[in-house]
Structure 1
Amino acid sequence: MNRLDKIHIAGGTPLHGTIRIQGSKNAALPMMAAALLYPGVSILRNCPKIADVFCMEEILCALGADTWWQEHDLYLDCTKADKTEISGIYTEKMRSSVILLGVLLGRYGKASMGYPGGCVIGKRPVDLHLYALREFGVCIEEKKEFLEAECRKLKGCEIFFAGSSVGATEQAVLTAASAEGKTRIHNCAKEPEIIWLCRFLKRMGIKIQGEGTEKILVEGGAPVKGGDMQVPPDRIVAGTYLCASAATRGKIEIENPPEGELTAFLEVYRKMGGQYEWNSGKLVADSRRVRFPVPLTETAVYPGFPTDLQSPLMAVFATIPGESRIQESVFEDRFKIAEELNRMGAEIKIQGKKAWIRGSFCLKGTKVRAQELRGGAALVIAALAAKGESIVEGYSFIRRGYEDISQDISRLGGKIKKDTGTTIYEDIQQY
């Protein structure tokens, strides 16, 4: 394990203070893909400097784009982005890279890429992407190591998704932007990221109606211009820090909360005993009375409880005596942190898509390992609530979605630092 891939945390300190939330990962990535539609400069303001954004930036550069940063504003000049092949080196890192297919087809009529996430096509969400592209008239050949797509001209169509998928909805909207005529997309995902993508495309000159509903109408094929837009605050990062406050029984204020996007999470937060109020556009969350187990929390597509906050919530439940239950209804295998939390003193039992969490008055610090992004953030939350020092390995997973979770938590008074070869207690004077 790389020494720099670890963070040290001394738990037991309630978080207090004010925090500002970074730009949204899930909004920025499809906006970056959309920038490829215009052979000129687009700007994403307040863009998060995270691993997934850097990966998408590398892909665009490999396609011929020029990119540069001014503070947190990302400039994308796609004037010379004339390549149509995306190496599996990039696509293996990030499944969302698949949304570039429709954009490349709209601009050049052809595209090829390694399989997203390094997996072969099967009963996976990417099937919906390919279905949508074929409805536009795209011919797709699924070869052993890569996908190859070609189309003389994209034409507007009717798309009926069998299930709600954020990525597939984004793919359809992005492809429709270049297709001649009108495209009607049914059973669309309603997540805020879809709305933000559509707003960005509207700024590029594309006519869109119905974003945020089950049916989106796109009128494509017209000339586009460069987009310039502020990336909204990340609702999952906001929820993560609210969970950290809840686990440590702290009180925090979020300066720029994603208003209207945290309703389902705040309902569960209230059931735990958390109190919150909106004050002049800020969200003040008081977790000092968090102590109640929640009989059942079920993840669902938006506006339901977000699956990306399921693991952070499990970490909070692990600190609450009594039995809470979570049902994961979006992904098949998202209880990977249960074993790690059990090593910290929780009692979690998994049966299929259900988890029973019997919390502890005091988790114990130990060495744990992240296996994926949100689970890694959840282990940080548990470590902040635990007695003693914890080492969270796999920090690289966390960096995929959090600019600097160590710095953010430190600003709220948490005792956390990246690995420098010493224990956090040896460096405690810095706090």
Structure 2
Amino acid sequence: MGMERLVVTGGVPLKGSITVSGAKNAILPLLAACLLSKNRVVLEGVPCLNDVRTMKEVLESLGAKIKWTGSVMEVDPSSITSVGVHPDLMRKMRASNLVMGPLLSRFGRVKASYPGGCTIGSRPIDLHLKGFIALGARIAEDHGFIEAEAFKLRGTEIHLDFPSVGATENIMMAASLAEGTTIIRNAAREPEIIDLQNFLNKLGARIRGAGLDTIRIDGARRLGKEISYRVIPDRIETGTFMVAAALTQGEVLIKNTIPEHVEAVTAKLREAGIKIREEEDRIIVSGQPGWNALDIRTLPFPGFPTDMQPQMMIFLSLAQGTSIITENIFENRFQHVGEFRRMGAQIQVEGRSAVIRGVSRLTGAVVQATDLRAGAALVLGGLAAENTTIIEGVHHIDRGYENLETRLQMLGAKICRTSD
């Protein structure tokens, strides 16, 4: 396979309608949660992404049988024999650590290495491990491997130092078969946590409070109803398409979305002067010329999502006036700034803040995607820039966006994929 690139010729306002895929950050924990069941689970709305393929490989390596047809995935976890995840699979993707909670809960043991993923900052697994220890697990760490063992997990009260999404999900899954009641305080409140609660409860778990900062899990004896479940739409993909419409001064109808999940993005785009209309499961974005500069601070949900920070930064590069973005979640999440500058953006980084002085135009350049969302932002920049932009490191984009170029072409974008 040669080096793949996206070639974007800018200056075309996007017009038409686009349908949002199932959420990457919801499907990965749902797949991990299938390990808690003893029966077949059918998942609908599954996005065809590299990260989903990796999680499928992780489950299959443990002994699960999986059939994947279009956007429907059948998972049969009844034949699982292994409790060890291969280091190569752990290195491929950060979310592979989500199998630890379910395996520990169902089999009393799990062995895994430290996970990989995008290099956007430290995302320590220590909050996950502290949760397992509080539930009664013994943890041994040796040469980059983590082994957790528990004859029986017991419910307890856990206070997270930070509302980590992954730790909240892992502890919810571990506690769903524990003896007694577990209470997670300072829990993450993301929509993906609510989706996981709904899925686990359909399997037979007894969880309430997801979406609030306190979650209560009453341990169930077993999980394993045969169920089918549809994953929620991807809010970051929704936000990315919203910015694409605004940035190209186009008009786009975004279908299969939940407007409440992108309220922070909608509020900021409206503040910039973009017209947005919301319907039940649709959002219509009408771009306007000459939008306003903004100040943005990334925060855990319901604050402004860190996963939308690069897309908003390229949008603000063409705003009137000076904007400031403060990144409060990941310390290395400004790696894209150098690439944006190649396109003519005027951005200065000062610690955790980026000062963006709006310019009148961006110009095409050869740029490198440094991570998933930075890659998406470079595509958006290319759509708005003069001339042609060539984006390398496309594999990052494929981790989180399904057929991005094909779907943008349907809105009139001049974009194609090439390989050496």
Q: CA deviation at 1:43?
A: 1.2
User: Matches of residues 201-240 of structure 1 in structure 2 within 5 Å?
Assistant: 201-224=200-223, 225-240=225-240
CA contact (8 A) 1:138 1:151 kept: yes
**3-state SS in 1 of match to 2:106:** helix
Gaps of 5+ in 1: 422-431
CA contact (8 A) 2:252 2:284 kept: yes
Residue 258 of structure 1 is matched in structure 2 by 258
Residue 388 of structure 2 aligns with an amino acid whose one-letter code is E
Q: When the two structures are superposed, what TM-score results if normalisation uses the length of structure 2?
A: 0.96
Residue 284 of structure 2 is matched in structure 1 by 284
1:278-337 CA distance string (max 9 Å, x none): 24542111112452111x111111001000000000011112242111001111110111
Residue 39 of structure 2 is matched in structure 1 by 40
**3-state SS in 2 of match to 1:419:** strand
Residue 269 of structure 2 is matched in structure 1 by 269
1:342-370 CA distance string (max 9 Å, x none): 11011100011000111221111010000
Residue 127 of structure 1 is matched in structure 2 by 126
Q: CA deviation at 1:30?
A: 0.5
User: Matches of residues 185-200 of structure 1 in structure 2 within 5 Å?
Assistant: 185-200=184-199
Q: State the alpha-carbon separation in 2 of the partners of residues 281 and 60 from structure 1.
A: 32
CA contact (8 A) 1:88 1:118 kept: no
CA contact (8 A) 1:319 1:385 kept: no
**3-state SS in 2 of match to 1:86:** coil
**3-state SS in 2 of match to 1:238:** helix
**3-state SS in 2 of match to 1:142:** strand
CA contact (8 A) 2:93 2:115 kept: yes
Kindly indicate whether residue 364 of structure 2 is the aligned counterpart of residue 365 of structure 1: yes
Q: State the alpha-carbon separation in 1 of the partners of residues 323 and 144 from structure 2.
A: 44
Q: CA deviation at 1:273?
A: 1.1
| Shift in alpha-carbon separation, 1:123–1:416, aligned structure 2, 3 A | closer
Q: CA deviation at 1:244?
A: 1.1
Q: CA deviation at 1:3?
A: 4.0
Stretch moving more, 216-225 or 167-176? 216-225
Gaps of 5+ in 2: none
Residue 292 of structure 2 aligns with an amino acid whose one-letter code is F
User: Matches of residues 142-221 of structure 1 in structure 2 within 5 Å?
Assistant: 142-221=141-220
Residue 252 of structure 2 aligns with an amino acid whose one-letter code is I
1:18-53 CA distance string (max 9 Å, x none): 000000001100000110111221111001110111
| Shift in alpha-carbon separation, 1:365–1:252, aligned structure 2, 3 A | same
Q: State the alpha-carbon separation in 2 of the partners of residues 280 and 149 from structure 1.
A: 44
CA contact (8 A) 2:372 2:400 kept: yes
| Shift in alpha-carbon separation, 1:269–1:169, aligned structure 2, 3 A | same
Stretch moving more, 197-206 or 320-329? 320-329
| Shift in alpha-carbon separation, 1:298–1:123, aligned structure 2, 3 A | closer
Residue 94 of structure 2 is matched in structure 1 by 95
Stretch moving more, 377-386 or 257-266? 257-266
Kindly indicate whether residue 58 of structure 2 is the aligned counterpart of residue 59 of structure 1: yes
CA contact (8 A) 2:60 2:66 kept: yes
**3-state SS in 2 of match to 1:297:** strand
Residue 333 of structure 1 is matched in structure 2 by 332
Q: When the two structures are superposed, what TM-score results if normalisation uses the length of structure 1?
A: 0.94
Give identity over the alignment, percent: 38
1:221-259 CA distance string (max 9 Å, x none): 322123421111100001011111111111100111222
CA contact (8 A) 2:259 2:278 kept: no
